[in-house]
Amino acid sequence: MGNKVAIIGLGHVGATVATNIVTAGIASELVLIDEQDQVARANAFDLTDQQAYLATTTKLSFIPYHDDWATLADADVIIFAAGNIKIVLGNPNDRSNNRVGELANSARIVKEVGPRIKQSGFHGVMICISNPCDVIAQLMQQESGLPAHAVFGTGTSLDTARLHRAVATAVNKSITDVAGYVIGEHGETQFAA
């Protein structure tokens, strides 16, 4: 395996993606970037240490946020997971808030990192998982200069998995026995098909 993945944004979602990549042995190299350098550094160290108990090995590194990102030039995939869900979730028990509320903050970050990604020479695939997902994916495509076919948003894939779980629980079946999709924009405009 010789694939290189980078993750920009190591909040709950980005850190979980990093952990899954390392524990599943999906990438030979993983580069971590976060606005808070100490978060990227700590995640890199923790995931490196964790590999003492894994059957696979992933080379981990972190790039300080304000340093040169030239190391991204040969990355196959960048996962953009930067954002701040707390902006719309003032009350952590209230899950009805609209993800569009994150737009200003997520767009600010895209406008900072998109040109830096372009400058790095990156020419792989970008996967955006920041809210609002579809809008951010389009903005990232514009700011990074990547072709439209190389920038993806995960959209409602997580919501589809949640639908499968809810239906499986309601009918007392295995989650693997459920089929169906949630489509639209992750948040207020999604719907089950």
| Residues tagged active-site | 186
CA distances from 174 to 77, 161, 162, 180, 192 (A): 32, 12, 13, 14, 19
Phi then psi for residue 168, to 5 deg, are: -60, -40
The residues near 137 (Cβ < 8 Å, ≥ 6 apart) are 126, 128, 151, 152, 153
Instruction: Evaluate the CA torsion angle 123, 125, 130, 131 in order and state its sign.
Output: positive
Task: Say how far residue 25 (Cα) sits from the centre of its chain.
Answer: 17
Three-class HEC string of 10-26: CCHHHHHHHHHHHHHCC
Q: What tokens were used for 75?
A: 């990355």
Q: State whether residue 120 is helix, strand or coil.
A: helix
Cβ atoms within 10 Å, residue 122: 25
